[in-house]
Each structure stands twice: as C-alpha cells, then as structure tokens.
Amino acid sequence: MDHLIGALVGAPLLGAGILLTGGRRLDRIGHWIGCLLAAVSFAIGVLLFADMLGKSGAARTMTSHLFSWVPVASFQANVSFQLDQLSMTFVLLITGVGTLIHIYSVGYMEYDERRRQFFGYLNLFLAAMLLLVLADNYLLLYVGWEGVGLASYLLIGFWQHKPSAATAAKKAFIVNRVGDMGLSIAVMVMFTTFGTFTFGPVLAHATSASQAKLTGIGLLLLLGACGKSAQVPLQSWLGDAMEGPTPVSALIHAATMVTAGVYLITRSGAIFNAAPTAQLAVTVVGAVTLLFGAIVGCAKDDIKKALAGSTMSQIGYMILAAGLGPIGYVFAIMHLVTHGFFKAGLFLGAGSVMHGMNDEVDMRKYGGLRTYMPITYVTFGLGYLAIIGFPGLSGYWSKDKIIEAAFAKGGTDGWILGGVALLGAGITAFYMTRVMLMTFFGDKRWGREAAQEPGGVAQPQPHPHEAPKTMTIPMIILAFGSVFAGGLFSINSSFLHWLQPVTGHTEGHLPVSAAVIQAATLVVLAIGLGLAWRQYGRQAVPAVAPRGSLLTRAARRDLLQDDFNHVALVKPGEYLTRGLVYLDHSLVDGAVNGTAASVGGLSGRLRRLQNGYVRSYAVSMFGGAALLVAATLLMRGV
C-alpha cells in the first residue's frame, strides 16, 4: 500500500509530461487526459484514506522511500514520502478539489487554443502540491514549494500576450522567491543545528536546540509562509495573480497553494511550540493580514480581486490559528479545508458569471443576474453563506472555533487577537454581502455601457447565460461541501480526533463562556450584513465608483502596498543596477582600459625617438657607451 504514495505524485506528473511534450496531436483529447490523471490521483488518495482508516494509532503514518537524492557526506537528502493524517487531509483536498476544477476547466477553457498546455500546467501544479504535502523532509518540501510557485507563475501568465498577465506572473514569482529564500535559509539552519532536515528527527529534537536557533528557524519559516500564503508583508502578489484564468484562481490562489504556508507552520508545530517569540510573530502576521485582506476586499470592484482580498483575509485566520499553537492547529486545518470548498466554489461561480458576461469583471457592470444564472446564483449564494459563517454552514463551524481559540490564548494577547478575529468576521460579512448584492441583486447595469460611452468602441451586448454542465456540476459539488463539510467535521469532533495525533491539541480556557463569543460573532455578522444591505441593497449601485473616503481610495490601491514597494524597493533597485552598470564600464573596466591606454600613450611617445636617421641612432649609441664607461669608472672610484 505504501508504494502507492509515489503514484499519487506520479500520476499528475505523468500527465504534465505527456501534455507538455505531446505536441498538437493531443490537442483534441489533452484536456481529458489531464482530468483522468487528476481523477486517478484522487482515486489513489481515497484508496489510501480507506486503508488509513482501517489502521489505528501510529500505524496510520505510512512512509515510502524512493531513492537517495543528494548524498554528500552528512548531507543526506532523500526522495521519500510520509503520509500521515495531516498529509492525507491535504491529499484529499488537493486531488478532490483539483479534479473538480479540472472538469470545470474543460468547459471554461473550451475556446482557448492552448487548452492542452493549460491542463499540462494544472497537472504539474497538482504534482508539485502533492510533493509539497507528502515530502518527509524540508528539502523535498522545498522542491514542491518552488514547484507550485512555478505552476502558479505559468498559470497566472497563461495569457502571456497580455502584458498585465505577464507582469503579474513575474511579480508573483519574485515575491514568492523572497519567501522561498526564508525557507531555504531555514533548511540551512536546521542542517547546521540538527545535522538533518528530515521531519522526524528535527521535530523530535526541536526542544533541545537553543532558543535563538528555534526562534530564527521559526521566523524564517514564517517568511516562507508569508510569501506563499500572501501574508503581510509579502501579500502584494495575490491581487495581481487574478490575471490568470479563473479556474487557476480557484484552485491555486484560493483552495490549495496559498494554504501551503498554513501547512508549513502546522507541520513544524514542534518548532513553533518551543519558540514563543516566533509564535507571537505568526499570530501578529495572521491578525494583520486578516484585517488587511478584509479591508481591501471591501473596496474592490473587480469581483475576482474582491475574492482575492477575502482569500488573504481567510488565510490570515488560519495563520492566526496556527500561531496559537496546539489550541489552534486543528482548527487552522479545518478552516483550511472548509475554505477550500467554499472559496473554490465562489471563484468558480465568479468564473461562471464572467463566462456569461463577456469576461467582464467589474461588479458595477453586473446586477440582477440571479434570474439569468440560477445555478450559479444558488451555488455562489451557498458559498457566500458559508464564508460569512452563517450558522450551520461549513464556515460557521471552523471560523467560530478560531475566534474562540484566539480568545482562549489568554491575557491581553488573547483579547486583542480575539477582538481582531471578531472584527474580521464582521467585515467579512460586509464585503461578501456587497459582492453578492452587486452581482446578483439590484437592477441590471450591463448593456447600458455601449450607449454611455460616447465615441467608444461599440462592445457586443452581453447575453448572460448559464454555464455548460462541465462547469455547473463541479460548482454544485463544491456547494455541497460548503454546506455540509463543517458540520460533518464537528460531529463528535471527528476532525479533531483525526488530526490530533499529528498536530497535538490542548483545550484553551476561555475568558468568557463559549456561548457569549458565539453570540457576539452572530451580532457582528448581523451588523456587517446590515451595513452592506444599507449601502448596496437599499440604494442603487452607481455604475461608476464614487470617489470615496481616504481609506476606500487607499484600499482600492491595495492599501498602497505596491506604491510602497515601488518607492522602497523597485526604484532604488533600478538606480542601483543602472549605477553599477555605469561603474562597471567606467571604473572596473575603465581602470583596465586606462592602463592599456597609458601604455599605448607612452609607446606613442617613445616611437618618436625612432626617426630612422642613422646619425641619431649613432648618437644614442655613443651616448649609451659613454654613460656605461662613466658608470664603470665611477663604480671603480667608489
């Protein structure tokens, strides 16, 4: 059974290989090959899951050693896998949601001439992501880590002819690389501290390392997590990443890849547990991002960017939970799974809306779509209810637990973190209701624009229509997940018991009773909902965005993150490289060329002595001879 773990990664990798090197012959069936291999991977995952359920205790962890990868003296990197409950959860999420999104893409990318490549990249992503969660050591994890970064780069920039897409892809990769740098240094510190970077020994002996080393490793891992999971301060790439096709946004930038940071922190729990400073930093990053993403999400008119802000914010919740230590790990992962369902569903819904609206993304040009796209409306609506934490739906179960855990941290920290989490829930309700109302309710605002744009190019009138079955079926399945997953996990705390052996769990002590917190969450939620309805439901949405307050304008520009990066990093960097290019020419090369030129000048002068007149040569000969004689005489005199 253990050998199958390799096949889990192998199937989509094979798919990527076939699709990317197969050439045009495969254009007609390529997408089905991609779907098939994703499904195969999912089937293997289910098989392994069943097998795992049949075992108990420590026997549930399966390992599979493939081959020795880089053996150099004490540096022993292996390609070997470890499948425990935590990895299993991810495997099922990745392959399950992945397969659904593959199927969705068949319809979504139907008219794209490079559909085969698209599926090749998707398969590549699956393989890399599975490698990431299945690796039994940090270096192999790093391979998957960069691999998903590559897939993300390729897919964001899939429509390369659009300069904005190419720029966004490059930006995503480079910002991620900053995080990757943190992760790779963390691996180096582990190697020098523990002599290995395999999960088992490192985590088992984490407590015997010095506090400084542990804090260092923790912060470096956090940097890595920030890059991949779009957490402050490396969050700027996620909004731009929405340039990619929508299935990509659903799979990579909502459900799976961006949650890799949460996986990393949970996996390295033993290190973080022993390094409170690093843990505190994790919670702070989570809390800040939670608010940051939510605020950005409130101001965006682009439906995908609003959802991207939301993703950032929800991952902030997970990071926050993971930073709380054993009281939060399980809930971080639980929220991660439920979020995988409803956020993927929301993105697919957004894709379906765009599909019907000539790829229009501006919500101010939507409105009243519920009658035109009923299935999309219902599935999107269920996802919406799940994300805001409507009682009974998935998001309610997982998010509520995180808020409780944050309060349970205790002390002032607990109150602040809990308060932020609670506030975040309110803002979530506000921006998601805003998205919902602007898209599916109110008057229809499309179709007017052609008349309103004097002299503009007459655009074809959108004819909103429901998407084909390949697209709606995945949406329906995900909607089921959004509704029931959270509840299912909470029956008898089954999810808790499932993950506890890997992550550990302690119950926190709440400063107030759980009921009070639950009630407070509902009140905040209602306030957010009400505010949104007052602004976007009761009154008509203007087709052109009003100027808005200072905060709104800043939020539209992603709270000035890009401006900051531009002023603080990009511009100085440009000056630096230009200056160096100049210096290389004038100083380093100049010194050498200067030497050459002065030698040349000297020889030019010396050449003038060689005038060809025999007499002058004779004089110099006699002069030289006379000098020699004189010198000899003088020397004898001394």
* Spatial separation of the C-alpha atoms in residues 172 and 152, rounded to whole Å: 8
Cβ contact 136:198 at 8 Å: yes
Interacting residue with another protein among 371, 459, 506, 586 (CB under 8 A):
586
End-to-end CA distance of the chain: 100
Q: What are phi and psi of 254, to 5 degrees?
A: -140, -55
Interacting residue with another protein among 69, 415, 484, 533 (CB under 8 A):
69
Q: How many residues bind another protein, per CB under 8 A?
A: 79
Q: What letter represents residue 282's amino acid?
A: V
Which residues lie across from 70 on neighbouring strands?
A: 77
Which C-beta is closer to another protein: that of 245 or that of 309? 245
- Per DSSP, the residues of 268-327 read THHHHHT-HHHHHHHHHHHHHHHHHHHHHHHH--BHHHHHHHHHHHHHHHHHHHHHTGGG
Query: Minimum distance from CB of 70 to another protein (Å)?
Result: 5
Interacting residue with another protein among 582, 624, 628, 631 (CB under 8 A):
582
**Residue 469 makes contact with another protein by CB under 8 A:** no
Half-sphere exposure of 271 toward its Cβ, with a 13 Å CA cutoff? 30
Which C-beta is closer to another protein: that of 74 or that of 513? 74
Binders in 28-67 for another protein, by CB under 8 A: 67
Interacting residue with another protein among 391, 456, 573, 624 (CB under 8 A):
573
Q: What are phi and psi of 543, to 5 degrees?
A: -70, -25
Query: Minimum distance from CB of 153 to another protein (Å)?
Result: 8
**Residue 563 makes contact with another protein by CB under 8 A:** no
Give 234's DSSP letter: S
Which C-beta is closer to another protein: that of 181 or that of 476? 181
**Residue 458 makes contact with another protein by CB under 8 A:** no
Binders in 178-207 for another protein, by CB under 8 A: 178, 180-181, 184-185, 187-189, 191-196, 200-202, 204-205
Cβ contact 261:186 at 8 Å: no
* Spatial separation of the C-alpha atoms in residues 389 and 489, rounded to whole Å: 15
Interacting residue with another protein among 34, 98, 147, 345 (CB under 8 A):
147
Give Cα separations from 64 to 4, 12, 86, 197 (angstroms).
9, 18, 16, 17
Query: Minimum distance from CB of 235 to another protein (Å)?
Result: 17
Which C-beta is closer to another protein: that of 519 or that of 630? 630
Pick left, alpha or beta for residue 344 (phi over 0 → left; psi -120 to 50 → alpha; otherwise beta).
alpha
**Residue 601 makes contact with another protein by CB under 8 A:** no
SS3 82: strand
Q: Which of the stretches 42-50, 144-152, 262-270, 522-530 binds another protein when contact is defined by CB under 8 A? A: 144-152
Which C-beta is closer to another protein: that of 103 or that of 169? 169
Which residues lie across from 72 on neighbouring strands?
A: 75
Binders in 201-260 for another protein, by CB under 8 A: 201-202, 204-205, 208-210, 213
**Residue 630 makes contact with another protein by CB under 8 A:** no
Query: Minimum distance from CB of 599 to another protein (Å)?
Result: 10
Which C-beta is closer to another protein: that of 100 or that of 274? 274
Binders in 120-139 for another protein, by CB under 8 A: 139
Which C-beta is closer to another protein: that of 127 or that of 291? 127
* Spatial separation of the C-alpha atoms in residues 402 and 328, rounded to whole Å: 7
**Residue 558 makes contact with another protein by CB under 8 A:** no
Taking every pair of Cα atoms in the chain, the longest distance, rounded to a whole number of angstroms, is 121
Query: Minimum distance from CB of 166 to another protein (Å)?
Result: 4
Query: Minimum distance from CB of 450 to another protein (Å)?
Result: 25
Half-sphere exposure of 140 toward its Cβ, with a 13 Å CA cutoff? 25
Q: Please work out, in degrees rounded to the nearest 5, the angle formed at the alpha carbon of residue 384 by the alpha carbons of 505 and 437.
A: 150
SS3 253: helix
Binders in 337-396 for another protein, by CB under 8 A: none
Interacting residue with another protein among 59, 111, 163, 513 (CB under 8 A):
163
Which C-beta is closer to another protein: that of 177 or that of 444? 177
Binders in 610-629 for another protein, by CB under 8 A: 611-615, 618-619, 622
Interacting residue with another protein among 58, 59, 72, 634 (CB under 8 A):
72
